[in-house]
């Protein structure tokens, strides 16, 4: 009969024999974990914001994100809804809550000056200089649609005009433009109403005019109005008069003369006011990363335009015009690519 000592020592001996093998397996396991962590660390998640989920801008950033994810190793990009485009996108990019987003030039200029919606309020202080231009996009339009007897901007004096909801940024655009034509809140009934409600009000003959910014030939913004009231009969586009237009363009670098009209609505020769849009990117993103993102997008631009056919129209996003936002500060990674392609010094 074996002693108790023998009975105890045998299993202990067997366990002791397993220890080297367990240690070896642990080393392998830890190595796999470290490898996985390294791969995770090497993958960069990029978020790009457009606007609401139903419009063009959300689709645009979604397509750009798709191309980056599929074509640029180590990057996973997502297109997200841009709440409060473009003011909201500027604020979120500057604060680092998103990596990139669409905005209007004058909003970015206001951010750099800490004016309008970007006035700093303690204790929350945002470094808006962290929002850098990535690329210039298309030209956004400021349009006025009004009852037939309103022929020019100055005719709006004394009338009821929807200019957008407070805090949307649209009301700031309208008041900033209208002052050059003698139209102000002191002599005109400005109505601070959201766009959809304003469209319905004009369609239902409750107001005289609506002023808002939108993309050219965009049926979504104007069709509800023109379906209810015939263009050229009851209502029509209003053109800015030359004198006020010259004052505006001489004083405001954010605005440009647009002469491409509205062909979809039978107004190909319509002259109006446009303003540039751009994609922002965080200034604290690595130069090589932004360079790679920029290079990847433009090397696959045919794929982008195939999914976004309106970008093929005149005045929309293209490599030749990406640097047109100068002298506003660009991300160094993007600037490097534009210099390589010979488009930086064109503007």
Asked whether 261 and 267 are in contact (CB, 8 A), the reply is yes
For residues 208 and 289, state if they share a domain: no
Does a structural domain hold residue 321?
yes
Q: Which helix (H) or strand (E) holds 12?
A: helix 4-42
Q: Which of 228, 245, 275 is the last residue of a domain?
A: 275
Using one digit for the tens of pLDDT, what is the confidence trace for 67-118? 999 999 999 999 999 887 889 999 999 999 999 999 999 899 999 999 988 9
Task: Please check whether residues 127 and 52 belong to one and the same domain.
Answer: yes
pLDDT tens, position by position, 286-314: 999 999 999 999 999 999 999 999 888 87
d(CA 52, CA 88): 12
Instruction: Answer yes or no: are the C-beta atoms of 69 and 79 closer than 8 Å.
Output: no
DSSP 3-state assignment of 272? strand
272/239 Cα distance (integer angstroms)? 6
List, for residues 131-159, the tens digit of each pLDDT value: 999 999 988 899 999 999 999 999 999 99
For 254, half-sphere exposure in the C-beta direction (CA atoms, 13 angstrom radius) is 16
> 327, exposed or middle or buried, with CB in 10 Å at 0-12, 13-18, 19+?
exposed
Instruction: Based on the fold, state whether residues 208 and 270 are members of the same structural domain.
Output: yes
Contacts 24+ apart (CB under 8 A), 114-122: 116/172, 117/87, 117/167, 117/169, 117/172, 118/87, 118/90, 118/91
CATH assignment of the domain containing 160: 3.40.190.10
Please state the three-class secondary structure of 33-54 as a single string.
HHHHHHHHHHCEEEEEECCCCC
Q: What is the DSSP letter of 179?
A: G
d(CA 86, CA 103): 4
Number of domains within the chain: 2
Domain that includes residue 340, residue range = 43-139+276-346
Residues 6+ apart with CB under 8 A from 301: 319
Query: What is the distance between the alpha carbons of residues 332 and 337, in angstroms, rounded to a whole number?
Result: 9
Examine residue 5 and state whether it is found in any structural domain, yes or no. no
Q: Which of 5-19, 27-41, 203-217, 284-298 has the highest mean pLDDT?
A: 284-298
DSSP assignment letter at 339 = H
Question: For residue 23, is it within any domain?
Answer: no
**Which tens digits make up the pLDDT trace of 218-246?**
666 677 788 889 888 899 999 999 999 99
For residue 131, being part of any structural domain is answered with yes
Please indicate, yes or no, whether residues 255 and 325 belong to a single structural domain of this protein: no
User: Which range, of 26-40, 266-280, 331-345, averages the lowest pLDDT?
Assistant: 26-40
């Amino acid at each position: 009969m074996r002693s108790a000592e023998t009975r105890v020592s045998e299993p202990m001996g067997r366990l002791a024999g397993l220890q080297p093998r367990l240690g070896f397996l642990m080393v392998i396991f830890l190595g796999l974990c470290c490898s996985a962590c390294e791969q995770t660390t090497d993958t960069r998640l990029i978020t790009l914001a457009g606007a609401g989920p139903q419009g063009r801008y959300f689709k645009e950033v979604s397509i750009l994100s798709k191309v980056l994810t599929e074509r640029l190793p180590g990057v996973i990009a997502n297109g997200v809804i841009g709440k409060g485009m473009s003011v909201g996108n500027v604020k979120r990019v500057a604060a680092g809550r998103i990596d990139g987003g669409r905005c209007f030039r004058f909003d970015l200029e206001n951010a750099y000056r800490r004016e309008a919606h970007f006035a700093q309020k303690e204790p929350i202080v945002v470094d808006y200089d962290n929002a850098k231009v990535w690329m210039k996009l298309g030209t956004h339009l400021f349009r006025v649609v009004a009852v037939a007897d309103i022929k020019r901007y100055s005719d709006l004096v004394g009338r009821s005009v929807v200019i957008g909801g407070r805090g949307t940024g649209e009301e700031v655009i309208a008041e900033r433009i209208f002052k050059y034509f003698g139209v102000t809140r002191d002599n005109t009934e400005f109505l601070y109403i959201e766009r959809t409600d304003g469209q319905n009000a004009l369609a239902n003959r409750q107001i005289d005019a609506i002023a808002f910014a939108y993309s050219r030939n965009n049926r979504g913004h104007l069709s509800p109005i023109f379906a209810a009231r015939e263009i050229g009969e009851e209502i029509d586009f209003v053109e800015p008069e030359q004198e006020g237009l010259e004052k505006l363009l001489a004083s405001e670098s954010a605005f440009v003369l647009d002469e491409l009209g509205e062909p979809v609505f039978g107004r190909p020769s319509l002259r109006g006011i446009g303003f540039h849009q751009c994609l922002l990117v965080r200034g604290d993103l690595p130069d090589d990363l932004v360079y790679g993102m920029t290079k990847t997008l433009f090397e696959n631009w045919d794929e982008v335009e195939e999914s976004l056919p309106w970008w093929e129209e005149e005045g929309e996003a293209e490599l030749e015009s990406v640097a047109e936002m100068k002298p506003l500060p660009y991300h160094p990674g993007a600037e490097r690519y534009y210099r390589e392609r010979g488009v930086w010094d064109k503007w």
